[in-house]
C-alpha cells in the first residue's frame, strides 16, 4: 500500500512488488498466491494459520485507506473497515500513520516484540532496533 500512497502507482493492481498486486494477479488466474498467508476470517477455536479477516474486508480496507490518504479521493473510512480495525485492535489513527509513514517509522525489522526478540537472538544482536514503533 505504501507504493500506492506514495503515488508510485495509480491502482493496487499496478503497484509493483506489493502483496495486493500478487493477490489480484493470482485471483485473475483463479488462484491464491502460494507465498502469502490465506484469509481465514474471524478468530475462532482451532483456527487455521492465516489472516484473521476476509479478502473482501482486506480489499475494502485498502480502498478506504486510499480514499482517506489521497488528496483527490478524500472520504471517511467505512464502517466495515472500522470494524476490522477494531477487531484487530488497531486504532484508526495508528493505521493511517503506519500506511503513510511506514518507511520513516521502520528502518529495520518489523513485527511483534516477541518476533523482534527472536530476530535479534538469531542474529546475536543485543538491541531491538525499532521496538518502540513496533509496540
* Structural domain contains residue 26: yes
3-state secondary structure of 89: coil
> What's the number of domains the chain is made of?
1
Q: Is residue 82 part of a domain?
A: yes
56, 66 Cβ separation under 8 angstroms: no
Q: Is residue 32 part of a domain?
A: yes
The parent domain of residue 35 ranges over: 2-106
Angstrom distances, CA of residue 96 to CA of 47, 58, 82, 106? 28, 15, 12, 15
The verdict on residue 124 lying in a domain is: no
Q: Flag whether 34 is in a domain.
A: yes
- pLDDT tens for 91-115 read 888 888 888 887 787 777 777 777 7
Does some domain include residue 21? yes
47 within domain boundaries: yes
Q: What is the reported pLDDT for 2?
A: 44
> Is residue 53 within 8 Å of residue 88, measured between CB atoms?
yes
**What per-residue confidence (pLDDT) applies to 3?**
47
Residues of the chain with pLDDT below 70 are 1-8, 70-75, 130, 133-135
Phi, psi dihedral angles at 24 (to 5 degrees): -65, -45
Output the pTM of the full model: 0.60
122 is a domain residue = no
Amino acid at each position: 500500500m505504501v507504493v500506492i500512497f506514495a503515488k508510485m502507482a495509480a491502482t493496487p493492481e499496478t503497484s509493483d512488488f506489493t502483496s495486493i498486486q500478487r493477490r489480484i494477479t493470482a485471483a485473475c488466474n483463479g488462484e491464491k498466491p502460494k507465498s502469502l498467508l490465506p484469509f481465514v476470517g474471524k478468530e475462532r477455536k482451532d483456527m487455521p494459520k492465516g489472516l484473521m479477516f476476509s479478502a473482501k474486508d482486506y480489499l475494502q480496507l485498502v480502498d478506504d485507506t486510499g480514499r482517506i490518504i489521497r488528496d483527490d479521493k478524500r472520504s471517511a473510512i467505512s464502517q466495515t473497515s472500522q470494524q476490522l480495525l477494531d477487531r484487530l485492535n488497531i486504532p484508526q489513527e495508528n493505521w493511517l500513520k503506519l500506511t503513510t509513514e511506514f518507511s520513516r517509522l521502520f528502518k529495520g525489522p518489523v513485527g511483534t516484540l516477541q518476533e523482534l526478540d527472536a530476530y535479534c537472538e538469531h542474529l546475536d544482536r543485543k538491541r531491538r532496533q525499532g521496538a518502540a514503533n513496533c509496540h
